[in-house]
A = this chain, B = another copy of it.
């Protein structure tokens, strides 16, 4: 089934201990779409400025990413700049120029209104909800990402949107902040009262944890020899996760677990090289191999 994503398409300037890049295509919806496109058709809703040329659009070409919902507005594309510290876990944001993203009002083309799987990347919860309002009928699955800015700044709006959400996908500190609980299991229970029935906690180099009703599932981060740039890891995780579910066409205990594995695998590829570089060169067979290897990595016989 087709998968709709709404979120940022951006230019990034990135510096890590392994190099730097002055201006490369990035953004949550970009990483998400590229990762998910290996598994399913993706309908992208976002906005870029006039400086986003056909050449930049090449990152989506030859993939099952439908750009009918990518608006081209007067002005400049969202620009983000960040520098990662030596441990790659901490980063300093150097610039966040919203540009055309500041006035972004998501508009779904008619052809997108029947998307069964929806991922609301980290944007204003009011805009996230406006996407759901434009969907025809009840979507099969809505997943949402958010951040401290919205948890603190627009809690009531976020709560309204969470009521329409089945899966919340955030990191541990956001989980603790939203629930006001330090313990992650208690935090999950508090969040389930807000709407979502599944909580996916992204923990960077420590993997991810999913709480789904009474069941808990943990995956490690795929161990890598080289990590060059963590940018987009969480969004690629989300793309792998939702892409797998949309391709499977069913949401149950095992498909959710496999989605966690596909998420981890896509996230692991994203960080191996700078920006989108590794995802752009990725082959479907490499994903399958890494999923199998992931199984070996976590299996034991009782």
The 8 Å CB contact of A185, one of B88, B219, B225, is B225
- Which residues of chain B come closer than 8 Å to A296, judged between CB atoms? 215
A220–B88 alpha-carbon span in the complex (Å): 21
**A302→B298 contact, CB < 8 A:** no
**A160 CB within 8 Å of chain B:** no
**A185→B301 contact, CB < 8 A:** no
**B257→A300 contact, CB < 8 A:** yes
**B223→A218 contact, CB < 8 A:** yes
**A302→B297 contact, CB < 8 A:** no
**A23 CB within 8 Å of chain B:** no
- Which residues of chain B come closer than 8 Å to A218, judged between CB atoms? 207, 220, 223, 297-298
Which positions in A face B, CB cutoff 8 Å?
86-88, 182-186, 203, 206-207, 209, 211, 215-220, 223-227, 254, 257-258, 260-261, 291-292, 295-302
How many copies altogether?
2
- Which residues of chain B come closer than 8 Å to A203, judged between CB atoms? 206
A227–B185 alpha-carbon span in the complex (Å): 11
A-B contacts, 15 of them at CB < 8 A, read: A86-B182, A88-B182, A185-B223, A206-B207, A215-B296, A218-B220, A218-B297, A257-B299, A258-B300, A258-B301, A258-B302, A260-B300, A291-B302, A292-B302, A295-B300
The 8 Å CB contact of A217, one of B254, B258, B297, is B297
**A226→B295 contact, CB < 8 A:** no
Kindly report which residue of chain B lies nearest to residue A17, judged by CB atoms: B182
- Which residues of chain B come closer than 8 Å to A87, judged between CB atoms? 182
**A300→B225 contact, CB < 8 A:** no
Given the interface pairs A207-B218, A298-B218, the reply to whether A224 lies near B257 with Cβ below 8 Å is no
A207–B219 alpha-carbon span in the complex (Å): 10
* Shortest distance between the CB of A3 and any CB in chain B (Å): 21
11 additional A-B pairs beyond A185-B224, A217-B297, beta carbons within 8 Å, are A183-B225, A183-B226, A203-B206, A215-B296, A216-B297, A218-B298, A254-B300, A258-B300, A258-B302, A295-B300, A298-B298
- Which residues of chain B come closer than 8 Å to A297, judged between CB atoms? 216-218
The 8 Å CB contact of A227, one of B183, B215, B225, B261, is B183
* Shortest distance between the CB of A151 and any CB in chain B (Å): 18
Most buried by B among A185, A220, A224: A220
A293–B79 alpha-carbon span in the complex (Å): 46
* Shortest distance between the CB of A157 and any CB in chain B (Å): 29
A301–B259 alpha-carbon span in the complex (Å): 11
- Which residues of chain B come closer than 8 Å to A301, judged between CB atoms? 254, 257-258
- Which residues of chain B come closer than 8 Å to A260, judged between CB atoms? 300
A226–B87 alpha-carbon span in the complex (Å): 30
